[in-house]
Each structure stands twice: as C-alpha cells, then as structure tokens.
Copies of this chain bind each other. A is one copy, B any other.
C-alpha cells in the first residue's frame, strides 16, 4: 500500500492539481519511517515549502463526548458556504497508526466528508523522527500546498497531544460542556491557559441556562490569568453545534484573531518560534535516542536508574558514575 513508485515531483504536481488520492498517499509517505520513504518525503516537503503557510491552523480540544466532530462539521459548513476549502486532521493519541479510524471520522462528519472542498484524515500521535507530532506538522504544510484555507487539528483532551497541537497551530479552541458538574469538566491542568477561544457547547434546550452559567464562571476565572503574549484576551462563548446557535460568532472570532495577530506581527513570530521549537525538540530527541539506542549505554543507564529508584544512590553521583563507566569501556 505504501506509495514508493512515484517521484516527489509527481506527488507534488498531483497535490497542486487537487488530486486527493495522491494527497492521501503523500501523507502516508510522510508518516512512514522507512529511510527510503523519508528521503522521498523530504524531497516532497522541499517542493511544497514555497507554497505552504497560507492557511489558518486551528487547534481544537475537549474531552470525549463534548461534541467535537459535530462542532467541526457545523463550523466547517459555514466556511464551505463562503467558498473556502478546509481540511480536518484528527489526532488519535491511542495509536501510532490510525488508518482504521478514518471511516469513523468520516461517518461522524457526514456532510463535510461528502464535500469536494473538504479533506478529512486521522493523524498518528506517535513520536516520529523529528519530535512529537512531526508527521502532523509536515501534513499541515502539504495540505497548505494543496490550497486548503482552514486546517482543523483535532485532539482528545487526554495525554500530551494537546501540547503538541498547541505547538503547531495558530489559534487554540477549547470545547466544554455545561452542567456536567464543573469539577468534572476534566480539564487537564494547563489546557485552559493555552486556549484562545473557550466555547461551551450544547447550549441548547434545557441546557441553555447551565451553559451560560459555565460560560460566566470561565469568563471570571480567565481574568485571574495574565494576558497571553499575543495581546489577545481569550474569549469565552456558548454555542450549540446541534442548533447552530453561536457558531457564526465563533467563525468570526477566528477571523478577528487572525486579522489582529497578523497585524501585530504575532502571527508570524509564533509560526517562526514553532519552526525553531520543532527543530530543537527533534534535535534533542534524536541525540538522546541515538545515545540510548546503543545497547551498552542503555544497560548502564538502566542499572543506575534502578539504584536511584531503590534509594541506593542519588541522581548526581549516579550520573557521574555513568560517564566513568562508559569512558572506561570505550
């Protein structure tokens, strides 16, 4: 199934012409860790680079059951109605290869998945060469070369994947539900503070009042935090993906954010920082992996680590000992 019969140039031309079958195969190529695929992938990325950067990259998180798919389905339809093209990448933190769940995502976003201007694709969360979420970051660039205007990167609010998504998107949207008992929102520590927009979903029927109460609680809580570097104050809003109420407001907030941060220069600064962090984290990861993949190193590390865990030895002397042992062996 892996696409190794085409050249990077052929992939590139297909992607630019709007061939979504080739686009899909190109993304599979980016996810591969085989050295030959990696070389081809790097060539393709280099071709796409001048055509990348044109989309608004939107990160979305929220606990399972908050209604992320329906939310993206309805918000996406507003964008499609404006003639925009959009892509949805769903990060599945539970598996490194998630092709099995494509069908699941497409079923959950029924209207979008049948639209020619929409591309939906799961993305593996696993650590790849070049840092956490590296394949997703690369996929973003290829989707931009393919001309998509809005990229949604969706993640479940568990594990470390939100931090990775935050590090590769321009704006971060946190979805909440009202009335679940505020303590049970399951908001992981630190996530609320990454959010540029907080939307309390399912503000419909009996739930409207509770949703508004939750909205006000969060509005108040946000005032206790320092403003973000962007100069943008996180907006809190209530909406219903079911009735569509409040979605246009969120759609407009996305544009306001983009306009404001592009004007202030923060938009560009943040993207450049993200590139450098991508390089630095990938570099660190590769240096450490190379060191630890040497079986002799791994054995000594594990032995000393056990001595630290058992309380026999402190970390600093254990580390001194590590280098002594390794230099004696060399």
Contacts and interface: CB of A to CB of B under 8 A. Distances in A.
Contacts of A193: 189-190, 193
Given A224-B182, A284-B288, A287-B291, A320 B38 contact: yes
Contacts of A38: 320
Q: Which of A220, A224, A283, A315 has most B Cβ within 10 Å?
A: A315
Interface stretch (A9-17, A93-101, A254-262, A273-281): A273-281
A313 interface: yes
Contacts of A238: none
B319 A182 contact: no
Interface string A275-307: 110111011101110010000000001001100
B220 A317 contact: no
B223 A220 contact: no
B186 A226 contact: yes
A243 interface: no
A141 interface: yes
A130 interface: yes
A232 to B, nearest CB: 14
Contacts of A284: 284, 288
A138 interface: yes
Interface string A40-55: 0110011001000000
A318 B188 contact: no
Given A226-B189, A314-B141, A275 B221 contact: no
A185 interface: yes
A220 B218 CA distance: 9
A229 B141 CA distance: 38
Nearest to A322: B283
Q: Which of A137, A225, A228 has most B Cβ within 10 Å?
A: A225
Nearest to A289: B287
Contacts of A318: 279
A278 B279 CA distance: 25
A204 to B, nearest CB: 22
